[in-house]
Each structure stands twice: as structure tokens, then as C-alpha cells.
Amino acid sequence: MSSASAPPVDEISSLSLTPDTTTVEESEFSQRVLIRSIISRPDGGAGLAGQTVRVGGWVKTGRKQGNGTFAFLELNDGSCPANLQVIVDEAVGQLSQLVATGTCVHLEGELKVPPVEAKQRVELRVQKILDLGTVDPAKYPLPKTKLTLELLRDYVHLRPRTNTISAIARIRNALAYATHTFFQKHGFLYVHTPIITTSDCEGAGEMFQVTTLISDAEKLEKELIKNPPPSEADVEAAKLLVTEKGEAVSQLKSAKANKETITAAIAELTKAKESLSKLEERFKLKPGIPNKDGKIDYSQDFFARQAFLTVSGQLQVETFACALSSVYTFGPTFRAEHSHTSRHLAEFWMVEPEIAFADIQDDMNCAEAYVRFLCQWLLDNCLDDMEFMVKNYDKSAIDRLRMVSSTKFVRISYTEAVAILEEASKERQFENKVEWGIDLASEHERYLTEVKFKSPVILYNYPKGIKAFYMKVNPDNKTVAAMDVLVPKVGELIGGSQREERYEVIKERILEMGLPLEPYEWYLDLRRFGTVKHSGFGLGFERMILFATGLENIRDAIPFPRYPGRADL
Amino acid sequence: MSSASAPPVDEISSLSLTPDTTTVEESEFSQRVLIRSIISRPDGGAGLAGQTVRVGGWVKTGRKQGNGTFAFLELNDGSCPANLQVIVDEAVGQLSQLVATGTCVHLEGELKVPPVEAKQRVELRVQKILDLGTVDPAKYPLPKTKLTLELLRDYVHLRPRTNTISAIARIRNALAYATHTFFQKHGFLYVHTPIITTSDCEGAGEMFQVTTLISDAEKLEKELIKNPPPSEADVEAAKLLVTEKGEAVSQLKSAKANKETITAAIAELTKAKESLSKLEERFKLKPGIPNKDGKIDYSQDFFARQAFLTVSGQLQVETFACALSSVYTFGPTFRAEHSHTSRHLAEFWMVEPEIAFADIQDDMNCAEAYVRFLCQWLLDNCLDDMEFMVKNYDKSAIDRLRMVSSTKFVRISYTEAVAILEEASKERQFENKVEWGIDLASEHERYLTEVKFKSPVILYNYPKGIKAFYMKVNPDNKTVAAMDVLVPKVGELIGGSQREERYEVIKERILEMGLPLEPYEWYLDLRRFGTVKHSGFGLGFERMILFATGLENIRDAIPFPRYPGRADL
């Protein structure tokens, strides 16, 4: 936002509920009132009694009552975790079609205060069934009984209908919008870094390749079967024809034949030559992936070179930070690691801000403010979903959000952290030995944040040997200005650093790490021309969801998890 | 947002400028005041005179004055199109290092009202140069002279420093945040659909393949060179050894040798067997991509099946609409088409809302409201950047935004549109003949929106033969409830439809189109179990940018364009 006028965003705070407590509006683009806008009112919707509304949703549980003269339905439309209680008389519709879990109903009815004191402050008396999507309970894969999250992963297309996955979807949505709001608020520009890349950010490998060579080869193979390539004899015959036609022209010329005859002969020669060149071209076609000098010929690939899925947008977003100062990227990233853990995905989302004129202190300030903002946002906007998570998955989830949003993060150097861990290891056994220079293991990180400080901790100034080439070398020449944010429950949530902006130093670091210079020339250009002090970090979005919700497995924190052997839909 | 409490988003309207007109705050996470927060004040920053501030940015133009005793710099930090005028005395720093275009400076100084009446209402008198990133003008690829957008595409890493690409970056950022704000405001949940997919949305092919088979084959090849596989003779020898060891055991047994001797012989036999089995395994290793029955063996690929980059998140986001009602996706999509036009990219971003309990009318209402919201947002938040585009690229860009944001879109059926075009073709020549049943060409679409109605036009109810299988068949059985939004300058901006929710009908349509059922079983499940009336659409984000800015080439509307033969960085 670059002008002074107020954006219309401020309308947003008054959106969920209309100020008038006696009416509720239909959603502008669908033929129904959001259940949230009924139930989430301060009066639980009681003030709406008497109003006729349309609602739609899926039956969570349904039961016939009063000898089958009416039915109760618990209806959920995904707008909030709570259900709307619905009463349908047998005169309105065939009750047995309505009560099955998973049935979709689109209903018109009157909101009423329940006759008996109940959990619900309002219920819907149905007057008309507008649409009905039935379910055969014998075939529906998600019956009312509680299913494990693991089993639900076999039904990624239906699992959003469960309480847990829909609560996570709302929390994920809230964290995504909170992310944009935080950075926009602080003047950062959202930049879409590329998904397909020809750079390898960390030089670490384990990238997915993006190619059309295989499908092109398959197409060619089919084409060659349908339309076989010429044989060597065909080509020889065509060559012979060219020779003959050429000789014919020579003879006619030396015989001083008339112009028309010569022209006609030349035309025949040209035709023969064209035909030969086509044959020669097709003769060269070989089934399979194109090779050159024993290697795959990537000049034939879609981008005329080898291409991959990005592992991080950092290097690319730096090009925008070195021009627009404060930027961030928020998009999918990929690792082709054969990790089968509950903490790794092959496709996951990362938030990566990059700030010019900022050093490692500014970077830590930004990371801390961002994480605290996210926690406060969930408390302000997703408390009902968080209460569901507390009840079902992690008793301390809300307390953790409160603690993080209100506590200043502890900041200690890597060197101090190692001293603390060495001291601690006198009294407790770590699986991995601690000494200056090692990459801290998860157990060490969790000890610091969960046991020692009981608070988020930012570690900074790591040994340069264990960190990436682009991190700024400190004056001690032993450490780099890197920082990691550690939080209870997940350990490392954020990794960041001040970037090395000195041309000579970063060039040296690239060579020191045994990386080739050529692919980084564009990155070096940022230091060659108008270099700037800058810093940034990356937050693994699904890790943030694990941290917030207390979920155990990252495969449940993303709508469509991708991991070795699995990419459903 | 699922609870009633007001989100903190409303703070946003007061962010760009502090209410106090005599001070300006440094950006919280970087050591500088945004130039926007100085210049974009109603008083042009004059009220800040006397304040000492730090700023940072890149020199657009610099010149020495007063016989080299001081220099003027035009400084830009990307926060707005305008530059801050900076004056540096020779006592403060080496002026010749500062004036080169592209130089990065981090400065401290005092804001002053310029002595002479000027365009600038405020300028900075530098007291201290905090950091300096120099440029060798002889080597800098982006000199002061105006460069063509085409040439800038060879410098994607530096082009954000140009006025045009930075203005587009701010406009793109604004449109992205406007998109989220619009949908959040209307109760939609943001869903991250997968990038790597095993479904082909349109059944149209032209997808990029995602694989680790090639890199695995390359790794294996290297490994086999380093550590050659056993020869047939090696395997035979190992077999022989197993036979010998087996015979030895038999002999010892029949000779009733003592237990220890037999145990030792059995141990040797076991060892020989293990060694054989390892050799046999390595003997099977073949360099190259794994094959099975003459075809590539995808069970060996990362996901144990063939995987692609998504061409649309629609089918997947429908699984969330059929549970959470109103959802949208906003992410990258891919087409491996060999299109070299100014309208196609291999990687582009799409916005795809999907709404349950919504028909084609609701869908059109949503599309229209969204596009008008985007236009109004740019007028409210990016007017300075839009003025830059008007001045340099498209005189009518702002007028177009005003027109669209304030005009109700014309809505006519495809059949009516064809009648209009047939009538028009009596007087004008179209390159493509118009008749009922054809897919309208760009010239037809642009005639309708630019000439006939001079307004955005929504066409609906297209012949089913030219549309996708998932679109709802109308009662006439000839058309489907599809709709396209056409706008001046780009033609089709949005394509959408009501989805076919009837199980039998959609199954029939899949078969009718010659598609296999099996890959769509999960999609059919959405109709089998609790099916719901629903609708959605897709907006090509870069097309929206072309429409808004008047840019000619889509390669300039995305930070890192990917197209045949090109994927820089």
C-alpha cells in the first residue's frame, strides 16, 4: 500500500456479525446463512428467534425421536466448530434419508429458542428441504465413530468433514491471513518467488526434478510406432534420387536446354532435396530420452536446461529485498528426502521475509514479533477451534499461545547455549554429545526451550562450519550471524541470518564450501552492485501449526500431504 | 475467523502514516524510515522538517553540483514510486562514490524544506553515511538510460530496481492482499491445494512431470562406476561356495561330527548364503531409469507413481468446499505448453474460489464483486503506481479501473453473444467464423467487451461440447452452467461454472469424454456421499495484472517468468 488513503480493510472487524442483533444476513454469494453468524453471537443466537433463514451443511449426527415423528440433526457447515441443532418433522421430509452422518442438507426454517434449557441457545425448525445429498451409511467411509488421524489420511478427500481436520483448516487459514496481515502492516511487499528453479539454494541436493523429457520420449515412441522412421535404405534411395536429379539438371544445362525445361528439372531437384532432408531428420529420431556425449541432453528439455522444484525462495527474494527493501515470500517448497518421520513433508509451505538495512538484531526482533502476533491472532480469532484442540489433543495448547504471545523471548548465543547444555549433561543423559561446533540436536533444543527456560529461545551466532555460505561471517571469523527460534513442543520453528553482503567474503565462502561459482553469479551481482546489509528468516508453516495445535504428525497439518510413496489426488 | 471478537486487522488503516505530523518512526525491523512515510504525507513531508532520520535506498540519479562541493541524489527504497531528494556535502563523504546509478546508501540526516520552490516538499541533508554499497558504472547492467522491458528480462535479478518492475511489484502485492482480504471478509477459508499432484484436472495433458527417477539413475550410475557390480562369474563362484559349504555341513552331519564343528560349518554356510544374496542383488542393478515390462517402472519413483505439477487446484479444493462450504485457493499452477505468446506462462498464479450452496448466479455475483473489489483497492491503495503506469504504458489504465469498479457487468448467454457476433460479422470481418457451438476466439470476446458493450461482460451457458466434464448440464441438455468474465484489454479474465453435483450425470460425462473413471473415483465420492450444489471459478492472477496496468507482456507481470527455454534463477 503505497498511498496515504485508508484501505478498506478496516471494514473487516465488523464482518463476522451484523450489528443488528435481531436479523442475520445470508452470505452474499451462497444461498444460506453461515452457522457461525447464528451461533457465535454473544447471545448464542437467541436474539434471532423468530427469523426465517436458509442454512446448509452436513449432518454430524441425526436421530429420529417421538416414535419417528420428528428428527434431531446436528448440522455443521464448516464456518465454526459448533453445530446448529435442527428439528425436522416427518411432514417436511423423509426422516430416514436425513439422519445418516454425512448427509448434506440445504434447509429453510425458523430459528427458535429451544423449549427446554439446553446447550443450544437457538435451534432451527425446518419448514422446507431445499436440497438433499443423501448418504448410504453402509458405504460411507467416515461413520460417526471416532477414526484415527492415521486412517483419515487414506481419505484426504473426505477428511475435511471431520471435526479435527476442519478445525485445523480454520486454524491454518487464520495463520495464513495473520501472516499476510502482519507483514503488510509493517510495510513488507509479498513477492511470488518461482516454484520451478534452476538454482539450488543450499547446494544440498535432494531436489525434485521438473521435466518434459520423459513424456516427450513417450510421445515420440508412440509416434514412431504409428509412423515408423525411414530405414537406412530409404535414406540411401533418397540420396540417389538427389544425385540423379542433380545430374539431370547438369546435363540439361550443358545441353543448353530451354529455360522452362531446366526450371522444371531444378524444381524436381529441390523437391528431392527437401524429401531427403526430412527423411534424414526422421532417421535421426531415436526412441528414449535424448542423449548427448553419454549424458542426458537437457537442451531438449522444456526450459532447455535442468530444472527443479524450489527448496527455498530465499535467494530469489533477496533480489527484491535488494531493491524494494522489505519483502516476504509465502509459498510451497519441496524436499525429495526419503524421510518417513512425523516432522517431514516432501511439499510444505514456508514464510520467508527478507529485510534490507537490517542486521541480525532486527531479524530477531522481526521473528519474535511475528510469532507472537500469530499466537495472539489465534487467541483473538480461533479460540473455539483452539478449545477443540485443547479438549481433544493437547491440554496446554492455549496456555502455550498465551505464554508465547506475552513473553519476551530469551536470547542467548550458541556458545552460551553449549555451556548450559554441557552443565546440564552432568546431570542428565543426552543421546548426542554436546560440544562447541556441533549442530544441536532436537533434544538439546527442546531442553533449552522446555526445561531450562520454559519460554521461546532465540539462539544466535552459530559456528560457521555448520551453516550455509550466505550467512554473514562475524568479526571473530569463527561464527556467523545466524539465529534459530526454538519453541516448546517442536524445537526449531524459525531459522534465519544476516546475509553476507561483502562480495569478496561471500565469494570466498562459496569456494570454501566446494560449490561452483557460476550458478551464483547472479547472486554475487547483488553484492557487486549497490550491496546492502540485509537479513531474513524462514518459518516452516506446518511446524507453526504443530506448535499452535499440539498435533503430533505434520501430515495432518497440511490439506494434501506428500511424502515418500504418497501423493493422493 | 471463527469467533466473534474483532480481529486486530482494523489497525491496518492507520499503519502507513503515524497520526502525529511532526515525527516519523523508523520501520520496526530495519534501521530506517520508509521513504513513503515521509513523502506520502498530505503535506509532502514538509511538516517533518527539522527531524533527524535514517533512510536507506538505491540511487536513481545522482549529480555533483557547485563545482563538486555537494551532490544531489534521487533515492528510492521501493516503498513508493517517488524518490527522496538527498543532498550530501563533500565533507560528509566521497561524492564520486555516491552519484552512480544503483549505488546503495544508508544515511542519517536532517529533513529540510528545500530553499527554492521545487517538486519536492522536503529533502534530506545528510550528516552521516552509515553504509555504502558502491557501483562501477562501467559494469552495472542497468544504467540510467531507459531500457526495454524485453532487455530487462535478461536481468531478472536486477530488474526490480527499475521504476516499472518495482511499480508492478507493488501493484501485484496489493492485488494479492486484496484477494485475501476480499475472501476472508466474505467468510471464505484459504486452502493450500497441492502443487505436486497425481490427478489431471482437465484431462488435457501438457503437464510437467515431477520425478526423482533421473537423479536416482544418475546416482546409481556413479555408484556403479565407483563400485562395479559383480560379474556373472562372481555370482557363479559365490553359488559354488554355497554348494560346497552346504555339502560340508551334510557330510559333517552324516559323519555325526561333534556339535561345535557342525555349528561352525552351518555358520560358514549362512555367511556364504548372505554373501551370495548380496551379490545377486547388486548383480541385478542396471544403470538407467528402471523399467518393467518395457515401460518405466514408476513404483520406483519418489511417490511410487507418476506425479505432475498441478494445472489447477479446483478439483482438490472442491473436497474442502464439500465440507467447509466457502473456500478458495491462491497458488501457483503450471502448463507445459510450448506457447511463445505474450499471454502465456509455464508457471502462473491462480485464484480459485469454490462455494457450496451456490449456483451459477451466485458464482457470477462473486466473480463480479471480486473483480470490482480489486479495481477499487488499487484506486484506494496504489494510485501513485497506477499514475506511473498511465504516464508510461497505458493512458486509460486508471479510467478502466474506475469504470470496472463502478459499472455493473453486462450478463448475456453464449447464445445471445453468438447472435450479436453474427450480426456484427455482417459489417466487420472476424478472422474466425462465428457459429453456435464454437469456442469464441479472443477477437470475439474483445469485440463484445471493448466495442459492443464497452464494459465487462459475463457470458454464461456455453455449449457442453466445448467445456469440461465437471460443469453442470443445463435442463436443455445442450449447454452447461459455465461462465466467463470478459474484460477490455485482455478478454477472458475469469472462467467458472456451477459444478455437476449429480452422481449419475457426472459419471456419464466423464465416460462421454473418453476419460477413465478410476482416477476420478475420489471426485465421484463427493457426489456419492452428501453431494451439494456448488460453484466456483478461476482468475488468472497475471492476467488481472495485465488488465489493471495495461502491460503488454505477461512475462513482466510475474517476478520470475518461466516459459519455453527460459527459467532464470
Given an 8 Å threshold on Cβ–Cβ distance, is A194 in contact with B523? Answer: no
Search chain A and give the residue with CA nearest B210.
A210
C-alpha of A17 from chain center: 30
Side-chain-side CA neighbours of B243 within 13 Å: the count stands at 6
pLDDT at A144: 76
pLDDT at A416: 98
Where does the pLDDT of residue B200 fall: very low under 50, low under 70, confident under 90, or very high at 90 and above? Answer: low
Chain B residues inside the 8 Å CB shell of A103: 530
Grid cell locating B191: 486452502
pLDDT at B15: 40
Given an 8 Å threshold on Cβ–Cβ distance, is B559 in contact with A187? Answer: no
Average pLDDT score over chain B? 93
Closest CA–CA distance from residue A228 to any residue of chain B (Å): 18
pLDDT at A203: 52
Chain B residues inside the 8 Å CB shell of A498: none
Q: Measured between alpha carbons, how far apart are the two ends of chain A, in Å? A: 37
Pairwise CA distance, residues A450 & A442, whole Å: 11
What secondary structure does DSSP assign to A371-416, as a single string?
Answer: HHHHHHHHHHH-HHHHHHHHHHT-TTHHHHHHHHHHSPPEEEEHHH
Pairwise CA distance, residues A301 & A357, whole Å: 40
- Residue of B208, B319, B569 lying closest to A160 (CB–CB): B319
- Segment B352-358 mean pLDDT: 98
To 5 degrees, how large is the angle CA A298–CA A302–CA A306?
40
Provide CB contacts within 8 A for B347, sequence distance 6+: A194, A195, A196, B332, B333, B334, B558, B561, B562
pLDDT at B456: 97
Convert the pLDDT of each residue in B206-217 to its tens digit: 899 999 999 999
Please report which helix (H) or strand (E) contains residue B369, including its range: helix B360-381
| Residue A322: count of CB within 10 angstroms of its CB | 29
ipTM of the complex: 0.93
Q: In the A/B pair of chains, how many CB contacts fall below 8 A?
A: 502
Convert the pLDDT of each residue in B464-488 to its tens digit: 999 999 999 999 999 999 999 999 9
Pairwise CA distance, residues B169 & B385, whole Å: 10
Q: CB–CB of B168/B153 below 8 Å?
A: no
Looking at the DSSP bridge assignments, the partners of residue B479 are: B463
Looking at the DSSP bridge assignments, the partners of residue A195 are: none
Pairwise CA distance, residues A38 & A84, whole Å: 9
Given an 8 Å threshold on Cβ–Cβ distance, is B3 in contact with A380? Answer: yes
Pairwise CA distance, residues A371 & A387, whole Å: 20
pLDDT at A433: 94
- Residue of B198, B323, B362 lying closest to A29 (CB–CB): B362
Map B103-130 to HEC letters. Answer: CEEEEEEEEECCCCCCCCCCEEEEEEEE
Q: CB–CB of B534/B501 below 8 Å?
A: yes
**Which residue type does A48 have?**
L
Model confidence at B9: pLDDT above 80: no
pLDDT at A21: 63
pLDDT digit string (tens) for chain A, length 569 residues: 344 333 343 333 334 444 456 788 898 899 999 999 999 999 999 999 999 999 999 999 999 999 999 999 999 999 999 999 999 999 999 999 999 999 999 999 999 999 876 778 999 999 999 999 999 999 999 987 789 999 999 999 999 999 999 999 999 999 999 999 999 999 999 999 999 999 865 555 689 999 999 989 988 988 899 989 899 999 999 999 999 999 999 999 999 899 999 999 999 999 999 999 999 999 888 888 998 988 899 999 999 999 999 999 999 999 999 999 999 999 999 999 999 999 999 999 999 999 999 999 999 999 999 999 999 999 999 999 999 999 999 999 999 999 999 999 999 999 999 999 999 999 999 999 999 999 999 999 999 999 999 999 999 999 999 999 999 999 999 999 999 999 999 999 999 999 999 999 999 999 999 999 999 999 999 999 999 999 999 999 999 999 999 999 999 999 999 999 999 99
Given an 8 Å threshold on Cβ–Cβ distance, is B363 in contact with A567? Answer: no
Provide CB contacts within 8 A for A333, sequence distance 6+: A309, A310, A311, A312, A313, A347, A348, A349, A350
Short-list A460, A529, A476, CA closest to A501: A529
Pairwise CA distance, residues A242 & A160, whole Å: 69
pLDDT at A205: 65
Chain B residues inside the 8 Å CB shell of A74: none
Search chain A and give the residue with CA nearest B78.
A324
pLDDT at B23: 84
Q: Which of B173, B188, B216 to mutate to test the interface with A (most CBs of A within 10 A)?
A: B173
Closest CA–CA distance from residue A240 to any residue of chain B (Å): 37
Short-list A455, A454, A496, A500, CA closest to A477: A500
Closest CA–CA distance from residue B237 to any residue of chain A (Å): 33
- Residue of A27, A366, A381 lying closest to B3 (CB–CB): A381
Model confidence at B6: pLDDT above 70: no
Short-list A393, A158, A198, A413, CA closest to A301: A198
Q: Measured between alpha carbons, how far apart are the two ends of chain B, in Å? A: 37
